[in-house]
Amino acid sequence: MKRLTNTITFDSTASRPKHGFALIYDLDGFSKFFNQPDAQNYVPRVMNEISLALNICIFGGQAYWQDNKVKYHSLNRIPVHEKFLGDGAMYLWAETKHQPLDPTFVQYLINRIFNLKMGFGHVVKKCYEIAPVVDLPQKIRFGLAMGTIYELTRKNSAQREYIGFPINLASRLQKYCPALGFIASARIGLPERMIKDDEYIKVVAKKIKGFPREIVIVDKDEYENLSKETKDLYFDAL
């Protein structure tokens, strides 16, 4: 085994602040799936199939999980960072002078992500073809947020890492109110017209650790189908 020769260290100064968009997903039930006795034979292929679905949302392709099997065009926004998180992954976009994170990009992305969440059973069905085990993750949860990010450069390496408000918030949102599975911070900046046209609503998430009373965007029908007890526990009306 090759010996570790140095620990993780960064250049002493982070980048200038950038406007960034964070998408984090988590697979519900991944630990149970991973604990299969022959998990090493299936986990990489299942994760690759799920990553392919995310790639279709971002870079275009046939969205086979939708009933009309629509073909997505590319969003023409390449993430500046992708990171595997064990039971999910993070995708991060940063605004540039020539490519702002405009509302149209955000609208397309969140709609595609929501459609993937709703049609995830079709992805699971494909995964059964490559992983013939009962305990496949059946649900995927998404958290999305926008705000200031900073790039860290690792010493003696071309690798980059990122820190910032939207990463922390997106991570918490994907864990919040598991009955929903799709929550976006209202900081993503969608105009009210787009929110209404796409049948989302704004509510106040009142128990996110470190983010008291955060205004979030959720699907209207999913929210209205929550029990009163669940709504009262996690949310307030705006």
Q: What angle do CA 222, 179, 20 make, to 5 degrees?
A: 80
pLDDT at 134 over 70: no
Give the whole-angstrom CA distance, residue 123 versus residue 25: 15
Spell out the domains of the chain, with CATH numbers in brackets: 18-237 (3.30.70.1230)
Q: What is the DSSP string of 46-75?
A: HHHHHHHHHHHHHH-EE-TTSTT-PEEPP-
What sign results for the dihedral spanned by CA atoms 93, 96, 99, 104?
positive
List the one residue out of 175, 108, 167, 170 whose CA is nearest residue 140: 175
At 49-64, the pLDDT tens digits run: 999 999 999 999 999 9
pTM score: 0.89
| Contact criterion met (CB below 8 Å) for 152 and 14 | yes
**Taking a C-beta distance cutoff of 8 angstroms, is the pair 17, 107 a contact?**
no
- Any idea which residue has 């949860």 for tokens? 141
pLDDT digits (tens, 9 = 90+) for 190-232: 999 999 999 999 999 999 999 989 999 999 999 999 999 999 9
